[in-house]
Every structure is written in structure tokens, then in C-alpha cells.
Amino acid sequence: MSLLECQGVRKSFGGVRALSDVMMSIEEGEIVGLVGPNGSGKSTLINVLSGFFPADSGRVDFVGVDLLGQEAHEIAAHGIARTFQIPRPFATMTARENVAVSYMFGREKHSLAQARVAADEWLDFTGLASIAESNVDQLNLQQLKFLELARALATEPQLILLDEVLAGLNPAEIEGSVEMIRKIHDRGITIVIVEHVMRVVMSLSHRIVVLDQGRVIADGQPDTVMNDEAVISAYLGGKRI
């Protein structure tokens, strides 16, 4: 059975249909690239899967549990973590405290003392060790994005949903980060990655799902999907990969 299975997930905001009938499944151990034009519903889907928005209808099964209608914190306890496209750190805490809180509440509950140790590990992993003591208002966008990542990892998820964590890196830096994501994957974590930088998506994904106007328009091997006419006209434009 798949790790995660979406069926007919719908979500509208007033007149805007952000998701209409999304069907998608994620297998354990996969890295799935989720791409699509701006406003196609990727972040909305992540919000629905992580319990931030209630879906209007549909079904989301995660290891056999129906997630719809569950609170975000319950979903986190099941083992789904996510990052925010626009970073949202805890503003009065240091980087370390940000990660520590997340470790305390993640899939398993930990004490404050344990959390401090674990936080340092994850900061190290994401290359933020040097700014562990910094208040978050001293960090730049990139550091904030990696902090998002560290925080999500600290919940010890089974499935992690990454919303544009690598946007804003230059090509050389991307190499290093791709390595890091692979390392996350090596720890047995299933990954859904949303990214507009095609070299990232192509080099990481085992499978790519393309959303357009809230619908899945393609799903398959990276090469196949990227040469799909619909995908090219909706998303890639003249620039084929």
C-alpha cells in the first residue's frame, strides 16, 4: 500500500478553485517532485496534507489513516512535516530554540533537555551550526529556509513536504543542497519537493507530478513528464529540459 494516497481532494477559496479533484499517491521511500505553474495549487496541496487548511472534500490516506479533518498537530504526530514557502520562524527564539521546540513536539514527545541536543544535530546537518545562537531576525532568506528544513526534520517525520526550500540558491550552492536532500532521503524519509528550479527537480525526483489549475496533468518518470506537451505549454514554455 502507498504511504500517502489522495483521492478527489478539492479546495476552493471563495471563487478560486485551488484544488479540484487531486489524485496522487506517494510510495514509501520515494522522492516526488511536485511542479506546476504559479498558482496551480502546490502550496495549497501541502497545506491540506499537513492539516493547515481543511479540504472541502476528498480523502487523504496516510499509512491507512484518514487525515482529512484531523488537526495539524495530529497530522504532525502521524509523521508528516512541512516547510513554508515563505519562512515562518518563531521570531523571539534563537535558531536552536526553533529546532528544539519542533523536536519536543514532533512525532514523539521529548523533554527540553533532549531537545537541545537534538537541535544541534539538525542544525549541523543543515549547515546552520554557526548561527545556532542567532536570533532569527539576523538571518537572511536562505538561512531561514534551511531553518525551516531543520525544524521540519526535527519532528522526525516519515514524510516531509518541502515547499521551495532551494529557491534562491545559485547553481553551485544547489549542488551541495541536493546532496543534503539525498542524505535526508537516505535516512528513510519520503520526500515531496516543490521547486521551480528544474535542475533540482530533475536531479532529485524519482517521479514528477505536475499540477495545473488544481488538477494533476501529468505523473511519471521525470524525462517522460518533462517532454509531455501539456506540461511544456502550461509550465515549461519554450525552454525544454
Partner 1 sequence: MLEIRDLTTGYGRAQVLWDVTASVADGEIVTLLGPNGAGKTTLVNALSGILRPWSGQVLLNDIDLTATRPHLISQSGIAVVPEGRRIFPDMTVTDNLLIGAYNKRARPHHEGNVERIYEIFPRLSERKRQLAGSMSGGEQQMLAIGRALMAEPSLLLLDEPSLGLAPIIVENIFEVLKQLNQEGLSILLVEQNAVEALNLAGRGYVLEEGRIVGEGSSGELLADERLRKAYLGL
Partner 2 sequence: MNADLLTQAAVSGALIGGLYALMSLGLSLSWGALENINLAHFMFILFGAYVTYQLTSSAGIDPLLAALIVVPLGFAAGGLLQIFFEWAKVDEFKSLIISFGLFIILQSLARTIWSADFRSLDQSINPYVGSSFTVGSVSLQIPLVIAFVAAALIAFGTQAVMGRTFFGKAVRAVVHDPDTAQAFGVDHRRVGVLLAAIASAYSALAGVLIATFQSLSPTMAVGWFGIVFPVVILGGLGNAVGNFLAGIIIGVAAGVAAVIWGPLSASLVTFSIMVLALLFRPEGLFTRKAAI
Partner 3 sequence: MKSRRRALTGFAVAFLILLAVPHLAERMDWPGFYLTFMFTAFFWITQSSSWNMLTGYSGYFSFGQGAWFGVGVYTTAVLAGKQGWSFLAALPLAGFTALIVGLLLGLVVFRLRSLGGEIFALTTLAVAFVLAAIARIFAAIDGGRGAFMTSVPLPEFLGEFRPAMYRMTLVIMMLTLVTAYLIYESRLGWGLFAIRDDEQVARGLGVPTFRYKMAALGANAFFGGLMGGVWALQIGFVTVEDVFSIRVPLFVILMSVLGGTRHWMGPVVGSLIIFTIVDRFNSAGFENFNQVFIGSLLILLVLAVREGIYLRIRERWVATASLFGLIIAASVIFNSSSMVWKFLWALLGILLMALIPDRAWQKLALRRRPTPSESREDRETVDA
Ligand X SMILES: Nc1ncnc2c1ncn2[C@@H]1O[C@H](COP(=O)(O)OP(=O)(O)OP(=O)(O)O)[C@@H](O)[C@H]1O
Binding site for partner 1 (CB under 8 A): 13, 16, 35-39, 42-44, 85-86, 138, 140-143, 163-164, 167-175, 196, 198-199, 234-239
* Cα 239 to Cα 81: distance, rounded to the nearest angstrom: 33
Query: Contact between 85 and Mg ion (CB under 5 A)?
Result: yes
* Cα 232 to Cα 239: distance, rounded to the nearest angstrom: 8
The residue of the chain with the least Cβ separation from Mg ion equals: 43
Positive or negative: CA dihedral 201, 204, 210, 214: negative
Q: Which residue from 1, 5, 6, 16 is in contact with partner 2, where contact means CB under 8 A?
A: 16
**Residue 40 binds which entry of partner 3, Mg ion, ligand X, none, with Cβ cut-offs from 5 to 8 Å by kind?**
ligand X
Cβ atoms of residues 43 and 194 within 8 Å: yes
**Residue 15 binds which entry of partner 3, partner 2, ligand X, none, with Cβ cut-offs from 5 to 8 Å by kind?**
partner 2
Query: Contact between 141 and partner 2 (CB under 8 A)?
Result: no
Q: Which of residues 36 and 157 has its CB atom nearest to partner 3 in the complex? A: 157
3-state class (DSSP) for residue 9: strand
Q: Which residue from 52, 63, 185, 215 is in contact with partner 3, where contact means CB under 8 A?
A: 52
* Cα 97 to Cα 46: distance, rounded to the nearest angstrom: 25
Q: Which of residues 76 and 201 has its CB atom nearest to partner 1 in the complex? A: 201
DSSP assignment of 15-41: TEEEEEEEEEEE-TT-EEEEE-STTSS
**Residue 172 binds which entry of partner 1, partner 3, partner 2, none, with Cβ cut-offs from 5 to 8 Å by kind?**
partner 1
Cβ atoms of residues 222 and 210 within 8 Å: no
Q: Which of residues 43 and 205 has its CB atom nearest to Mg ion in the complex? A: 43
Query: Contact between 100 and partner 3 (CB under 8 A)?
Result: yes
Positive or negative: CA dihedral 47, 92, 120, 114: negative
Which residues are CB-contacts of 211 (< 8 A; sequence separation ≥ 6)? 22, 34, 35, 36, 40, 41, 42, 45, 217
Query: Contact between 57 and partner 2 (CB under 8 A)?
Result: no
Residue ranges binding ligand X (CB under 6 A): 13, 16, 18, 36, 38-44, 85, 137-142
Number of amino acids touching partner 2 (CB under 8 A)? 4
Contact positions toward partner 2, by CB under 8 A?
Answer: 13-16
